Structure 1
Amino acid sequence: MEKKVIQVEEKVPAKMLIPLSIQHMFAMFGASVLVPFVLGINPAIVLFMNGIGTLLFILITKGKSPAYLGSSFAFLAPAGIVIAKYGFEYAQGGFVVVGICGCILAFIIYKFGTDWIDIVLPPAAMGPVVALIGLELAGNAAENAGLVNVDKVDMRNVIVFLVTLGVAVFGQLLFRGFLSVIPILVAIICGYVTAAICGILNFSEVVKAPWFALPHFQLAKFNLGAIITILPVLLVVTSEHIGHQVVTGKIVGRDLIKDPGLHKTLFSDYFSTALSGLIGSVPTTTYGENIGVMAVTKVYSVQVIGGAAICSIIVSLCGKMSTLISTIPGPVIGGISILLYGMIGTSGLRILVDSQVDYGINRNLILTSVIFVIGLSGISVNIGSVSLTGMILACVVGMLLSLTFYVLDKLHLTNDQ
């Protein structure tokens, strides 16, 4: 029997809302707190602003787009350079400027519309770009699980990984009733218990953590060199945002590019980034992990996303709680990520199927082939301190190819119109 779909605007009873919200928070937690750890700041402020940013996103889009804003990985490389040279406060200034420029871009899209998306990213290009959002993260899931890039694989990690993934996968088929909509949360709990049994948990930091602690706020500082270093990330985040909105729209069965509109979702994302940077946090972005949760559970309610945001804020204010959640081991995160990232990849293939892309037409075959190979090849193109690779590079190449084909069509030079 097919799961009941809970649509975007539907209200969820409290007894369902709380566990569903916690499930979404757990899905984003591992990746989102990794960014502040890499940049050397306290994750509490990041969790706080992720929650605030998500609530702002829901408010600005009038609850029409179910999206959770987590920490953006796109800024890591340029932000690292700026932090080493000037300090984190100046990286914050770069985040603020990127956010402001993104808001201006959203206004331009509002004035000129989104028809250009069908030209620069037709279905034969959009499908593989969306698929790559999930596929290129597959290595990260395996690395989190401790199954690759290690001298020797720890069998305890393998056991925890398999239990987590197994519960998540077979829960889709075997769980009934309410359990069928929280398989991710059940899998995380089972994986965590297994990790405790295997003896790979350490609660010493939890004991030392305070029960209540305000996040550390600090104002941004501005430097032209720092801003120029970080500003090119605007292209990366915009490409990622469009891809996420398309795949979310396919999952929930709505055209989110049209309603609430790309200009609103993009403005919300960048406004959150500017606000986060201004007061001491890292940039935010829509999160693939949470898109994957929606694909798995068929629960698209914005109320649940808002509940997850509130949970994130509460956790950020409770030192012991945030520290406890941060003890979730890599094999658990990896086991869940394998399924969630795969769901995103499948959503990209679904775009190709639903759009009935004809691969008897040369341009479609070329676009999909080139994008997939570029995205999975590991090729990297550096523009200053910004590195374009994976899905982002594939998206840029796909856009350039599609634009070229469009110009050739206008000149009546192509043979497959």
Structure 2
Amino acid sequence: MQDEFNDPLWRQIISGAQMLFVAFGALVLMPLITGLDPNVALFTAGLGTLLFQIVTRRQVPVFLASSFAFITPIILAKDQFGLAATMGGVMAAGFVYTFLGFAVKLKGTGFIDRLLPPVVIGPVIISIGLAMAPIAAHMAMGRAEDGTELIHYQTVMMISMPALLTTLIVAVFGKGIFRLVPIIAGVLVGFAMAFYFGVVDTAKIAAAPWFALPHFTAPEFNWQAILFIVPVALAPAIEHIGGVIAVGSVTGRDYLKKPGLHRTLFGDGLATTAAGLLGGPPNTTYAEVTGAVMLTKNYNPKIMTWAAIFAISLAFIGKFGALLQSIPIPVMGGILCLLFGSIAAVGMNTLIRHQVDLSEARNLVIVSVTLVFGIGGVLIGTGMGPEDFGLKGIALCAIVAIALNLLLPGNDSWKNKKGDEPII
């Protein structure tokens, strides 16, 4: 391996800008979908990365941003409990990662394998993707959730479908680093089509200041919003472990031992808590940057420091945030048709890759009930009002899946076919 840690400063800066470019599409897509401020998301992603580096002693070359698993609960929690209460839930999700970090330090990783085996994680991830499929379809057709037409159908199809097609083409046929930025490519083409058809609102861009503080939002704690969001944090926790292992496999280092999985989980927890404190989406390790590390072989963690600095700097450009927020709904909808389906496919791949046998009654019960509870809108409780107790959607199906796995006989299936080696 080359001695990448002696790279000159100018090369580190350029590589840092490149890493942010790779992560940028999915980084800003999360706040645009959920209605959060993209400038705040940029700031908290940069801040979270720097906090992660402090906790891990700047040994792991990753950039932090939000997992798409949080999209569904954040949208629903915002609608029902408000933005401030949703941020309280995000902070609570950060506490979950912190708790997992301490638990791993004390008990090792075995308890995570036992608590969250593929038969639990797989259907929960499938539910996360498919539960949002109707929203993606409505956005791609330029309609509100109640079916009201927001933009003329023929016009919206000329915007959303080229955005989707471009994303597909770049993802499948792109070469080198361009294969890592299909979302950016889709957004650019969709935005150009929207601008051509006069759908882009340029007045807000012109009125926005060049430099401005991001619109930070202080959290408030609502136990219903917390229950809505916290269970979903378990799926990105598994993604985190997989991401750390993947980065270690290409850098030739065992990050599970040094700096240790407990430190990387704690770093995610601290970054997510800081994001919730300021009004940003949760921050976890990020698959797109993992792919960029593999492709470019830039293993120097200092590169991620520069990527974080660039993200924080962009957060203070007011016109940049206004430009992002002017991206029309059909552009997002076209890309989300692929994105939400991809999330569901990851869940299916989890079941397939770990050879979860659905002919076994135990596995069939867990998967079946989890999917129906997650996608079908089952509500357990008295309602979802401010004074009611209720669980539904992803939060409910995650809790049910974990409970069924722990209560039904045969919960040692977290071990793989060869013995006691963890399946993660």
TM range (shorter): 0.7 to 0.9
Q: CA deviation digits over 1:34-83, x for unaligned, max 9? A: 5565xxxx654443123211332354345548463339554666677776
Q: CA deviation digits over 1:358-395, x for unaligned, max 9? A: 23322222222222222221213358667533333222
Write out aligned runs for 1:13-412 (5 A).
Answer: 18=17, 21-33=20-32, 35=34, 37=36, 44-61=39-56, 62=58, 64=60, 66=62, 68-70=64-66, 74=73, 88=84, 99=94, 103-104=98-99, 106-148=101-143, 149=145, 150-152=147-149, 154-215=153-214, 226=221, 228=223, 231-232=226-227, 235-245=230-240, 248=243, 263-278=262-277, 280-282=278-280, 284-286=282-284, 291=287, 309-382=308-381, 388-406=391-409
Going from structure 1 to structure 2, the CA distance change for 1:97 and 1:34 (only over 3 Å counts) comes to same
Q: CA deviation digits over 1:105-134, x for unaligned, max 9? A: 532342123322333333222222233333
Q: C-alpha separation between the residues in 2 aligned to 1:358 and 1:389?
A: 27
What's the CA shift for 1:193?
A: 1.0
Identity %: 28
Q: C-alpha separation between the residues in 1 aligned to 2:89 and 2:183?
A: 36
Q: TM-score, normalised by structure 2?
A: 0.73
Going from structure 1 to structure 2, the CA distance change for 1:127 and 1:227 (only over 3 Å counts) comes to closer
Q: CA deviation digits over 1:263-321, x for unaligned, max 9? A: 4344223322433454x43462438xx64797899769786876664443222111111
Q: CA deviation digits over 1:143-200, x for unaligned, max 9? A: 3334453323532221111101111112234334553343332222111111111111
Deviates more, 1:51-60 or 1:91-100: 91-100
Give the letter aligned to residue 184 of structure 2: L
Going from structure 1 to structure 2, the CA distance change for 1:32 and 1:247 (only over 3 Å counts) comes to farther
Going from structure 1 to structure 2, the CA distance change for 1:79 and 1:167 (only over 3 Å counts) comes to closer
Structure 2 unmatched ranges of 5 or more: 413-424
Q: Number of matched residues?
A: 386
Secondary structure of the structure 1 residue equivalent to 2:327: coil
Q: C-alpha separation between the residues in 2 aligned to 1:145 and 1:230?
A: 28
Structure 1 unmatched ranges of 5 or more: 1-8, 410-417
What's the CA shift for 1:203?
A: 1.1
Q: C-alpha separation between the residues in 1 aligned to 2:324 and 2:22?
A: 12
Q: C-alpha separation between the residues in 2 aligned to 1:264 and 1:93?
A: 23
Going from structure 1 to structure 2, the CA distance change for 1:396 and 1:82 (only over 3 Å counts) comes to closer
Q: Is the 8 A contact 1:182 1:297 kept in 2?
A: no
What's the CA shift for 1:211?
A: 1.2
Q: CA deviation digits over 1:218-245, x for unaligned, max 9? A: 877x8xxx46555545732432433543
Q: Is the 8 A contact 2:89 2:227 kept in 1?
A: no
Q: Is the 8 A contact 2:87 2:276 kept in 1?
A: yes
Secondary structure of the structure 1 residue equivalent to 2:30: helix
Deviates more, 1:196-205 or 1:51-60: 51-60
Q: C-alpha separation between the residues in 2 aligned to 1:145 and 1:93?
A: 31
Q: Is the 8 A contact 2:49 2:305 kept in 1?
A: yes
Q: C-alpha separation between the residues in 1 aligned to 2:293 and 2:126?
A: 19
Q: Is the 8 A contact 1:172 1:180 kept in 2?
A: yes
